[in-house]
Homo-oligomer: A and B are copies of this chain.
Amino acid sequence: MELRIDSAAVHRCRAMAQAVVAPVEEFIAAHSTVAVERSVLRLLGVDGVGPDEIPLPNYIVDSLPIEQRPHGIALPFGRALAQTGLDPAALAVAIGEGRHTLAEFDDVPSEAARGALAPFVAAAMHRIAERRAERDERLSRIPQLEPPLLYVIVASGNIYEDRTAAVAAVEAGAQIIAVIRSTGQSLLDFVPYGPTTEGFGGTYATQANFTIMRTALDEISERSGRYVMLTNYASGLCMPEIASMAALERLDMLLNDSMYGILFRDINMKRTFIDQHFSRMLNACSGIIINTGEDNYLTTADAVEQAPAVLASQFINEEFAHRAGMPDAQIGLGDAYEITPDLQDGFLYQVAQAQLTRQIFPDAPLKYMPPTKHMTGDIFKGHLIDALFNLTSVMTKQTIHLCGMLTEAIHTPFLGDRALAIDNAQYIMNTARHFGDEIEFKAGGRIETRAADVLSQCEALLARVTEMGLMRAIETGVFADVKRPADGGRGFDGVFARSDTYFNPFESALRQAAGLEAVR
C-alpha cells in the first residue's frame, strides 16, 4: 500500500527544514539556560531539596551571581568539588544547608575544576550507557509485540493509583505506559521532589515517581514476558532536567517537541530551542524515543486545514533531532486522528495523512494520537471513531499507538475504559492485521490527491518559513495561527548568552557520544 508521492518535493522540504534549523542551531550554540545548567548538576549527582523545599539544582544555579551565569554552572561547582573533596551530592547538601557557597571557591583554577568534575561526568555517562544497555538486554530477552505498540495513559494524580492502573493496563495488553503530568507542571521552573499523591488531571513528574513506576513495570514486564515501556514529558520549562532524570531512571520515551512549548504553552522560543537541544542530546544518548507534539495543531484548530502544518512541523522536528545526534529510530513524530467524524470521506483523508507520514519518515517510530476533539459524551459513537483510528493505524503501520478512550470527553480514563480501549485496538488490529498489505491506492484518486495536496501545501509553508526565518515565522503566526514574540513568554529570564569560557562537560561528552562535531 504505497502512495505515489513526489519525492523531489519531499527532498525540497527536507532541504528547507535544514535551512530553517541551521541558524537556530547557531543561536543555540551561543546560549544556555538555567534549566540546562540545573540539568548539568543533576547529571553530576545533585538531587534533593534545600531550604523552602527548593530543589537543590535550582538553589545552586540561582545562587550563582547573575554575571557569572554566562560561564555555566559546571566550573564554579567543579571548583568547589576540587576544593572540598566532597562528592556532588554531598556538596549540594552542604550548599543547601549554607555550609558552603560557590563564591568561596572563585579562586580555584579552572583546570582543577575540570579535573574534579571529570570522574563524575564519566560516571554519569557510564550510568546512562548502563541503563541503555539494560534496556537493550531486556528488550532482546523479552521483546515487545509487533507494532502498532499499544500505549495508554494513567492520570489519577496519585502515583500509587497510577501504578495499579498501569499494571492492570499491561495485563490487558498495553506495551507502553505514559504517566500524564499534573496540569501546569510544564510551567513550573523546577522539578518537584519525592513521591507524590496529589496531582490535578495527572501526576507530577518526579524522579521518585519515575522509580516507583519503572520498578512496577519491570516487574510486570518479567511476569508478562514483554518489555513494557515507560513514558513521561520532557516538555515545558524543565526539558533538560527531565531528560536527565529519565536517562537515569531508564524511561523509554519522552514527549519532547521543538516548538510545542512555544506555541501551546507560551514558553519563550529561545528558551525552548536551547532546552530542547540539550534534552535531545541526552535522549539520543540514553536511547530514549522522543514523541513530538504535532497532534496539538489538530486539536486546537481545524484538522483538515492544519495537515500541512503538521507535516512541516514534522520536518522541522526531524531536523532539530538530527542535529542533536538523534537517529531516525528515536524520532517519534506525532500525528493524530482528529478530522471531524461528520466529514464525508474523512476516513480517506486520515488514511492519506497517516500513510504520507509513514512514507516520508520510513524509519521513524511514528506516534499516532487518537481522536480527542470530536469525542463527545456519546461513548458508543466515540468507541467507533476510535475503531477507525485503530484501523488506520494498523493499515498504515504506525509505530506508537495511543489508545483512544471512549470516555475521552468525560474524564481521565477509568480502569475499565482502558481495558475497553485496549480490547478495541486488539480486535481491530488482529481482524485487519494485513489489510494494508493487501490493498493499493487508486492512482490519482481521492486518497492520493489529498496526500499530494498536503505535501505541496507543506512545501509552500516551509518556503515561507525559510524566507522569514523560524523565529520570525513564529512571531507572525505561521504555525497554528499562534503569534509569539521572540523575547516574550515564560522562562525568557532563564536564557543567557555563553561567555567565551562557558563550559558544560556533558555537552562535549554527549556530542562525542553521538558522533557530532564539538561546539565551536
Question: Which A residues are closer than 8 A to B by beta carbons?
Answer: 341-348, 351, 378, 380-381, 383-385, 387-388, 391, 406, 420, 423-424, 427-428, 430-435, 437-442, 445-447
Q: Closest approach, in angstroms, between the C-beta of A302 and any C-beta of chain B?
A: 16
Please state if A433 and B387 are interface contacts (CB–CB under 8 Å): no
Please state if A344 and B406 are interface contacts (CB–CB under 8 Å): no
- Given A388-B432, A431-B388, are A348 and B438 neighbors across the interface (CB < 8 Å)? yes
Whole-angstrom CA separation of A391 from B390 in the bound complex: 14
A381's partner among B388, B423, B433 (CB-CB below 8 A) is: B423
Please state if B438 and A447 are interface contacts (CB–CB under 8 Å): yes
- Given A439-B439, A441-B439, are A346 and B380 neighbors across the interface (CB < 8 Å)? no
- Count copies of this chain in the complex: 2
Most chain B beta-carbon neighbours within 10 Å: one of A424, A430, A435, A439: A439
Please state if A384 and B427 are interface contacts (CB–CB under 8 Å): yes
A440's partner among B346, B347, B351, B439 (CB-CB below 8 A) is: B439
A433's partner among B345, B423, B434, B442 (CB-CB below 8 A) is: B345
Given A380-B420, A388-B432, 10 other A-B residues pairs in contact with their CB atoms under 8 A = A342-B430, A343-B431, A344-B433, A380-B380, A380-B406, A383-B384, A391-B391, A434-B446, A438-B445, A438-B447
A437's partner among B380, B406, B434, B442 (CB-CB below 8 A) is: B442
Please state if B384 and A432 are interface contacts (CB–CB under 8 Å): no
Please state if A423 and B345 are interface contacts (CB–CB under 8 Å): no
A-B contact pairs, 7 of them (CB 8 A): A344-B431, A348-B434, A348-B435, A351-B435, A378-B423, A381-B427, A385-B427
Whole-angstrom CA separation of A163 from B497 in the bound complex: 78
Please state if A439 and B437 are interface contacts (CB–CB under 8 Å): no
Please state if A431 and B347 are interface contacts (CB–CB under 8 Å): yes
Q: Closest approach, in angstroms, between the C-beta of A384 and any C-beta of chain B?
A: 5
Whole-angstrom CA separation of A104 from B342 in the bound complex: 71
* Chain B hits for A431, CB < 8 A: 341, 343-347, 388
Whole-angstrom CA separation of A440 from B435 in the bound complex: 11
Whole-angstrom CA separation of A435 from B387 in the bound complex: 16
Whole-angstrom CA separation of A446 from B437 in the bound complex: 9
Please state if A428 and B348 are interface contacts (CB–CB under 8 Å): no
Whole-angstrom CA separation of A221 from B433 in the bound complex: 42
Q: Closest approach, in angstroms, between the C-beta of A20 and any C-beta of chain B?
A: 34
Please state if B437 and A440 are interface contacts (CB–CB under 8 Å): no
Whole-angstrom CA separation of A384 from B447 in the bound complex: 24
* Chain B hits for A381, CB < 8 A: 423-424, 427
* Chain B hits for A344, CB < 8 A: 430-431, 433
Chain B: CB-nearest residue to A388? B431
Please state if B438 and A441 are interface contacts (CB–CB under 8 Å): yes
* Chain B hits for A438, CB < 8 A: 348, 441-442, 445-447
Whole-angstrom CA separation of A345 from B428 in the bound complex: 9
* Chain B hits for A430, CB < 8 A: 342, 344
* Chain B hits for A428, CB < 8 A: 384, 388
* Chain B hits for A437, CB < 8 A: 442, 445-446
Please state if B384 and A434 are interface contacts (CB–CB under 8 Å): no
Whole-angstrom CA separation of A447 from B437 in the bound complex: 10
Q: Closest approach, in angstroms, between the C-beta of A167 and any C-beta of chain B?
A: 22
Please state if A384 and B435 are interface contacts (CB–CB under 8 Å): no
Whole-angstrom CA separation of A77 from B447 in the bound complex: 67
Whole-angstrom CA separation of A153 from B438 in the bound complex: 35
Closest 5 CB pairs of A and B: A438-B445, A347-B432, A347-B431, A439-B439, A440-B440
Please state if A347 and B383 are interface contacts (CB–CB under 8 Å): no
Please state if B435 and A347 are interface contacts (CB–CB under 8 Å): yes
* Chain B hits for A341, CB < 8 A: 427, 431
Chain B: CB-nearest residue to A380? B420
Whole-angstrom CA separation of A424 from B341 in the bound complex: 11
* Chain B hits for A345, CB < 8 A: 431-435
Q: Closest approach, in angstroms, between the C-beta of A446 and any C-beta of chain B?
A: 5
A384's partner among B342, B387, B433, B442 (CB-CB below 8 A) is: B387
Whole-angstrom CA separation of A402 from B144 in the bound complex: 40
* Chain B hits for A446, CB < 8 A: 434, 437-438
Whole-angstrom CA separation of A446 from B447 in the bound complex: 22
Please state if B439 and A442 are interface contacts (CB–CB under 8 Å): yes
* Chain B hits for A342, CB < 8 A: 430
Whole-angstrom CA separation of A348 from B435 in the bound complex: 6
Q: Closest approach, in angstroms, between the C-beta of A16 and any C-beta of chain B?
A: 30
Chain B: CB-nearest residue to A438? B445
Q: Closest approach, in angstroms, between the C-beta of A202 and any C-beta of chain B?
A: 25
Q: Closest approach, in angstroms, between the C-beta of A50 and any C-beta of chain B?
A: 51
Chain B: CB-nearest residue to A416? B380
* Chain B hits for A447, CB < 8 A: 438-439
Q: Closest approach, in angstroms, between the C-beta of A408 and any C-beta of chain B?
A: 14
